[in-house]
Structure 1
Amino acid sequence: MRILVAPDKFAGTLSAVEAADAIAEGWSRTDPEADVVTVPMADGGPGFIEVLHASLGGELLAVTVRGPLGDPVPAAVLKVGETAYIESAQACGLVFLPTEADGRTPRPGVAAQASTYGVGELIAAAIDAGARRVVIGLGGSGTNDAGAGMLAALGASSEPVKAMTSGPEGLAHVASVDVEPARERLAGVELVAASDVDNPLLGLRGATNVFGEQKGFVGDDAKLAADAALTTFAEAAGRKVADAKGAGAAGGLGYGILLVGGRREPGFATVAAAVGLPDLVATSDVVVTGEGKLDWQSMNGKVPVGVAGLAGSALRPCIAMAGAVQVGNRELRANGIEAAYSLVDIVGTEESFAHPARSLAAVAERVAKTWSRR
């Protein structure tokens, strides 16, 4: 019996690689003769590089870039042939923003000065290493600058000079923008934004109004000011692509990529194609996926539903394991998931958070008794 294990990360506790290994370990306890194949997954956010490296191999190039608030941060470029993969969160992630006392909530106002400059440095490093195709995973950003910092790192300029590298506070004062040097730097390079977010840059469904609060843009005034700053920048740099699907991804980083001739691909589909997931699903008997919290957001293009969709097309059963399951059986089955199992329900909340890998393995061991042929 062949079991394909293809989970996303369990945010805050396990990477996708760790989760896949834990599920495989637990399943093998029940059915040691099963052929358990692990394919960790991602949709473009944190873990994008780790997942691709685990499946594709390739060369990891260590790079130090400018973080969202200007401090140097370590990052990596994964080079596989002439394709380079970049994880934007490594350069401008939410994790780099100072937080309130709870250690999770970004301090209000800080992201107003945060920049994607480091993402541009990563792209430049990939090109310098010989990449002719650069795939940028978008997600988990702590920035809301419409990709202005990224463009500046690639040679774009503005008046005033530092307006593009100071977050939306700087963009509010932009008088003119010259993007052509960045386009020239990218000549002959295919640029791809991997993201499942299809929001536009501006307005009620835009980057600021939908995702701004989780970055510290609290209150209507803060959101209004930030959205107005992005509007000012878009008017100066090019309004045409601001309404395109995905322009609002990663605080508008999608817009910056589209502005210089890049294109957007669904994040899950990008990773699935790169690791050969459709063929692996088709040759498996049971497909197992999962993530930290299986909720309504999971039903909107996230990894579990993406995996389930491939399983359904191949007429293979798909089950899910999650830290918590917050959707009903009817909705799960409507999205191709036959059954879902919650760690907090089976082993308890305290054990799940204290020993996540052990807990996930224990749940997998139990689930295998139902889904294995033994």
Structure 2
Amino acid sequence: MRVLLCPDKFAGTLPAPQVADAVAAGWREVAPGDDLLARPLSDGGPGFLDVLADALGGRRIPVPTVDPLGRPTAGEILLTDDGTTAWLEGAQACGLHLLDAGERDPKITTSYGLGVLVAAAVEAGARTVVLGLGGSGTNDGGAGMLTALGVTPLDGAGHALPYGGAALAGLESLDGAPRLRDVRLVAATDVDNPLLGLHGASNVFGPQKGADRADVLLLDAALERFAAVLERDLPGCPGGLGALPGGGAAGGLGAAVLALGGHCESGIGLVTRAIGLETMLDAVDLVITGEGSFDHQSLRGKVVAGVAGAARDRGLPCVVLAGQVSTGRREAGAAGVTDAYSLVEHFGGDQRGLVAAMERPAEGLQALGARLARQWSR
């Protein structure tokens, strides 16, 4: 039996490589002679760089940067062997996981640290910079990133605005020009939400980052002002910026990439092409993927959707392992998912099962790996 293991991370518990290792360990307990190929995946969020470095090689360059509150933190860029492409993980500088629960306030958090990483990639000589966007704790439309790249938002008196999304309500003009040396920017994201409106960054993702209803309204209005000034003052910024698909990714970082002449692409699509997943799928009998929560969002541009769709196109069975499963069987089947298994159900299905799934995910995944081997191995 030839089995491809290509899970995403289980957010808050296990990175994608450890998920694959746990499932593989359980499978080998039952069917040690089977051929298992592990290719952990990411759609642009935390773990993006680890997945790419494992598959592509290249050179990882440490870059000191700052977190969403301006505190020093460690970042890095992955530079391909030919030096033409740099891959960045936005969550290293903007990640929600860098903030304690009491520190989460998208009115003041900044994407400045990601701008530091982009500037380092430009200095390293890359011609294309791919920014993995996901898991952010910011909602500043990428204003902080632009500042780090040489474009400073100013108030009516000509003073630099404070960092954070709320301050953009007082934006009057921009100072400076982006120091990108004609580098091409690509945003790798799993969402197509626009920057503004009911389905925009503030309304959809702001509450996950600590925003209450009043904050959401304030932030959406501030980003509307920011988009208008970008269209007016930043050469090359496309019109209708606030409504463009992908602009709402990572608290509006997608919009900043678009304003700088870049474009948004499916994160899972970029990763699967980069690691040659299509070729791997042609040589296996079963695909196992997964993520922390298999829900309605999973089938909209995330790892599971990309893998299951590619498996379906080849007539391959695809099994999903997740911490929790709330997607209906019919909906999952239409997306290419043959079956789905939940750690919570494995551990009993009640509140104790939820606690066990969070505390002992590797144990549960190993047991599910053994269960799948008994069902599927020849």
TM class by shorter chain equals: over 0.9
Q: CA deviation at 1:286?
A: 0.5
Q: In the TM superposition, what whole-angstrom CA distance separates every residue of 1:320-370 from its partner, at most 9, and x where no partner exists?
A: 111121123222211111111112222342443332212201110111111
Q: CA deviation at 1:164?
A: 5.1
TM-score (norm 1): 0.93
1:125 is the counterpart of 2:130: no
Instruction: Sort the Cα spacing of 1:309 and 1:325 in 2 relative to 1 into closer, same or farther, 3 A.
Output: same
Partner of 2:149: 154
Partner of 2:51: 51
Q: In the TM superposition, what whole-angstrom CA distance separates every residue of 1:255-274 from its partner, at most 9, and x where no partner exists?
A: 11110111110111011111
The answer to whether the Cα contact below 8 Å between 1:163 and 1:174 also exists between their aligned partners in 2 is: no
Q: In the TM superposition, what whole-angstrom CA distance separates every residue of 1:43-97 from its partner, at most 9, and x where no partner exists?
A: 1111111111121122111111122111111111111132111111110111233
Partner of 1:223: 216
The answer to whether the Cα contact below 8 Å between 1:162 and 1:170 also exists between their aligned partners in 2 is: no
SS at match of 1:115: coil
The answer to whether the Cα contact below 8 Å between 1:42 and 1:303 also exists between their aligned partners in 2 is: yes
Q: In the TM superposition, what whole-angstrom CA distance separates every residue of 1:298-330 from its partner, at most 9, and x where no partner exists?
A: 122211121010111122111111112112322
Partner of 2:287: 287
Q: For the residues of structure 1 that align with 2:376 and 2:298, how far apart are their CA atoms?
A: 23
Partner of 1:14: 14
SS at match of 2:88: strand
1:355 is the counterpart of 2:355: no
SS at match of 2:65: strand
Q: For the residues of structure 1 that align with 2:219 and 2:364, how far apart are their CA atoms?
A: 42
- Single out whichever of 156-165 and 125-134 deviates more from structure 2: 156-165
SS at match of 1:7: coil
The one-letter code matched in structure 1 to 2:95 is G
Q: In the TM superposition, what whole-angstrom CA distance separates every residue of 1:122-164 from its partner, at most 9, and x where no partner exists?
A: 0011111121111000111111111111011011123236645
CA-atom RMSD, angstroms?
1.5
The answer to whether the Cα contact below 8 Å between 1:178 and 1:237 also exists between their aligned partners in 2 is: no
The answer to whether the Cα contact below 8 Å between 1:87 and 1:137 also exists between their aligned partners in 2 is: yes
Q: For the residues of structure 1 that align with 2:218 and 2:308, how far apart are their CA atoms?
A: 40
Residue of 173, 177, 180 corresponding to 2:174: 177
Q: CA deviation at 1:115?
A: 0.9
TM-score (norm 2): 0.92
Q: For the residues of structure 2 that align with 1:162 and 1:142, how far apart are their CA atoms?
A: 25
The answer to whether the Cα contact below 8 Å between 2:143 and 2:153 also exists between their aligned partners in 1 is: no
Q: For the residues of structure 1 that align with 2:160 and 2:109, how far apart are their CA atoms?
A: 12
1:140 is the counterpart of 2:145: no
The one-letter code matched in structure 1 to 2:69 is L
Q: CA deviation at 1:288?
A: 0.6
SS at match of 2:101: coil
Q: For the residues of structure 1 that align with 2:34 and 2:162, how far apart are their CA atoms?
A: 53
The answer to whether the Cα contact below 8 Å between 2:122 and 2:181 also exists between their aligned partners in 1 is: no
The one-letter code matched in structure 1 to 2:366 is A
Partner of 1:166: 163
The answer to whether the Cα contact below 8 Å between 1:149 and 1:165 also exists between their aligned partners in 2 is: no
Partner of 1:269: 269
SS at match of 2:165: helix
The one-letter code matched in structure 2 to 1:89 is A
Q: For the residues of structure 2 that align with 1:162 and 1:242, how far apart are their CA atoms?
A: 25
Superposition pairs of residues 1-374 of structure 1, within 5 angstroms: 1-81=1-81, 82-100=84-102, 107=104, 110-160=105-155, 163=160, 166-178=163-175, 181-182=177-178, 185-219=179-213, 221-238=214-231, 240-348=240-348, 349=353, 350-373=355-378
Q: CA deviation at 1:98?
A: 3.5
Structure 2 unaligned residues grouped into runs of 5+: 232-238
Partner of 1:103: none
The answer to whether the Cα contact below 8 Å between 1:140 and 1:250 also exists between their aligned partners in 2 is: yes
SS at match of 1:172: helix
SS at match of 1:46: coil
The answer to whether the Cα contact below 8 Å between 1:63 and 1:75 also exists between their aligned partners in 2 is: yes
| Alignment size in residue pairs | 362
The one-letter code matched in structure 1 to 2:89 is E
SS at match of 1:112: coil
Q: CA deviation at 1:240?
A: 3.1
SS at match of 1:3: strand
Q: For the residues of structure 1 that align with 2:319 and 2:174, how far apart are their CA atoms?
A: 50
Q: Percent identity?
A: 49
Q: For the residues of structure 2 that align with 1:90 and 1:162, how far apart are their CA atoms?
A: 29
The one-letter code matched in structure 1 to 2:222 is A
Structure 1 unaligned residues grouped into runs of 5+: 101-105
The answer to whether the Cα contact below 8 Å between 1:163 and 1:170 also exists between their aligned partners in 2 is: no
The one-letter code matched in structure 2 to 1:352 is A
The one-letter code matched in structure 2 to 1:356 is P
The answer to whether the Cα contact below 8 Å between 1:207 and 1:249 also exists between their aligned partners in 2 is: yes
Q: CA deviation at 1:296?
A: 1.4
Q: For the residues of structure 2 that align with 1:164 and 1:86, how far apart are their CA atoms?
A: 26
The answer to whether the Cα contact below 8 Å between 1:117 and 1:165 also exists between their aligned partners in 2 is: no
Q: For the residues of structure 2 that align with 1:191 and 1:258, how far apart are their CA atoms?
A: 8
Instruction: Sort the Cα spacing of 1:29 and 1:169 in 2 relative to 1 into closer, same or farther, 3 A.
Output: same
